[in-house]
Structure 1
């Protein structure tokens, strides 16, 4: 299902723009700093501030060290972000996670870990990367060969992708409802962490002078973590007793990052409609004022006949007046 959705997202991507982001990776570099600099640091600070259990602190930091999730690409489409930048950032963060995740976990989890090291599922990262890049490449080819069909695929895929994110969050909540009985501190962290990630990513991008649509893109890539990868790491690294007090956090984070995304998409789409309506009204007012001004000039100069034709017709009448 993810591959089908990413195929439709690939129908928005142009190869030369994607390559441009790779050749001059300003946006990718900012996203990298936010993804593997800010997010693990925020996770570490929240764990200390709320005084959670060691295993709970570890799962929070694992979430902060994960690369960006593919859901950010779908939300980026609905927020009119830079799709080429979004996809390149998701791909690059997944590749860089192979080295950055172990490094960040080593730095931030030593305060709580005393046993065996955390296992990084490199095969899961590779599968995620393949499920991202191969369908996007096919979508780019379709866009190049059949641009009209690509537009139709994109419309269907964008709606299906948005619904898919909601379905995954709801099904995950139902299947793992036995894990919801956890400490209130994890609920609070899981609620505010996505908001902090989105906000700081947006502010960082704006601080370095990125345009608004790229600020939205970088914010999404910062706040949207690969929660499925976090769940996989947790299941591989901890026993059943430890899982009972920590497994719900990835689900909580994924639900509230979806809540943030829905709020942002809804607010932005309402703003677009309002802005378009205001723009249409101002255009009609401007057209009415032009017609009114034309009529006034026709009354002042008897050579004008006051028709609402083209500028060329007005000039012709003016010439006749002079004659």
Structure 2
């Protein structure tokens, strides 16, 4: 499976199209959103770039995962948030403008954070493969993550109508790729699936809940308002797992390292929806109590 043209060529192209679609939804004004809400942006980015990898590292050490599974969890932790976080934030009345700003910044940071964090994990767990030490692989990550976003933004600047028309087809394509790649990764390791599901299922489930809770609780602890806290929870808890899956399969050439992201891609939709429902309901009840 790892050597097939679908994995080595098709997946990077598919991810490039997805990131191109993400670029179509962004403008340079989104990056300027940092100036409007610097504290909110700094809190969410610190949680996502620094705290999440540390949480992931603690979990894989505690559960003594196999080296490549451990690397896969760290790769997942390093992957950015995505447009799904924006959608869920909107659904639960979060600060969507903050989500869009974070998505824009994370799309750029991912080209650096993914190789650095993943390669440190590979070195620590003595896993096979390299991502980040070799210049060519860093370029490959930049090519499939960052460049398509820039092209998409450039096209949107020239033709907002085209960007609007392309939004829905790219979203549908993104979801289809995520489903197919997740299923393919799981099927590729079907002989070890029961063992992996037992180990990785618990770790990714805890990691997902921890990410959502940290995103919300950390924001509230640092005195961000409710809408910003909801946006932070969705951005920190809902990862662009397609990025992690593609890098694990096509750049690292490891189906095993892709398993955590494949499992997480199922958990995050269920947990994020439930989490959003709980916190918004609790907030509504608190407001009702204050009014009374």
| TM-score of the aligned structures, taking structure 2 as reference length | 0.71
**CA separation in 2, counterparts of 1:245 and 1:28?**
33
- 1:210 aligns with one of 192, 212, 224: 224
Query: Which string of whole-angstrom CA distances, capped at 9 and with x for unpartnered residues, describes residues 265-291 of structure 1?
Result: 55578789x87xx89xx9xxxxxxxxx
**CA separation in 2, counterparts of 1:138 and 1:265?**
34
Q: CA deviation at 1:223?
A: 1.2
Tell which deviates more after alignment, 260-269 or 85-94. 260-269
- 2:118 aligns with one of 105, 108, 112: 105
- 2:46 aligns with one of 33, 43, 48: 33
Q: RMSD value over aligned CA atoms?
A: 4.1
Structure 1 residues 223-234: aligned runs within 5 Å: 223-234=237-248
Contact 1:35 1:222 in 2 (8 A): yes
Matched, 1:61 2:74: yes
Query: Which string of whole-angstrom CA distances, capped at 9 and with x for unpartnered residues, describes residues 102-161 of structure 1?
Result: 333354443212655325554455554465566678779999xx9xxxxxx79xx79x95
Q: CA deviation at 1:100?
A: 2.8
- 2:99 aligns with one of 65, 86, 96: 86
Q: CA distance change for structure 1 residues 246 and 117 in 2, over 3 Å: closer, same or farther?
A: closer
Task: State the secondary structure of the residue aligned to 1:80.
Answer: coil
Task: State the secondary structure of the residue aligned to 1:210.
Answer: coil
Task: State the secondary structure of the residue aligned to 1:110.
Answer: helix
Structure 1 residues 276-287: aligned runs within 5 Å: none
**CA separation in 1, counterparts of 2:70 and 2:221?**
30
Q: CA distance change for structure 1 residues 164 and 195 in 2, over 3 Å: closer, same or farther?
A: farther
Q: CA distance change for structure 1 residues 268 and 21 in 2, over 3 Å: closer, same or farther?
A: same
Aligned to 1:286: none
Structure 1 residues without counterparts, runs of 5 or longer: 147-152, 283-323
Tell which deviates more after alignment, 258-267 or 215-224. 258-267
Q: CA distance change for structure 1 residues 172 and 267 in 2, over 3 Å: closer, same or farther?
A: farther
**CA separation in 1, counterparts of 2:261 and 2:139?**
19
Structure 1 residues 298-317: aligned runs within 5 Å: none
Structure 1 residues 1-323: aligned runs within 5 Å: 2=18, 15=29, 19-22=32-35, 25-113=38-126, 116-119=129-132, 120=137, 122-129=139-146, 170-178=179-187, 179-180=189-190, 181=193, 182-183=195-196, 184-239=198-253, 243-265=254-276
Task: State the secondary structure of the residue aligned to 2:112.
Answer: helix
Q: CA distance change for structure 1 residues 33 and 202 in 2, over 3 Å: closer, same or farther?
A: same
Q: CA distance change for structure 1 residues 24 and 78 in 2, over 3 Å: closer, same or farther?
A: closer
**CA separation in 2, counterparts of 1:109 and 1:66?**
16
Structure 2 residues without counterparts, runs of 5 or longer: 1-16
Q: CA deviation at 1:245?
A: 3.3
| TM-score of the aligned structures, taking structure 1 as reference length | 0.65
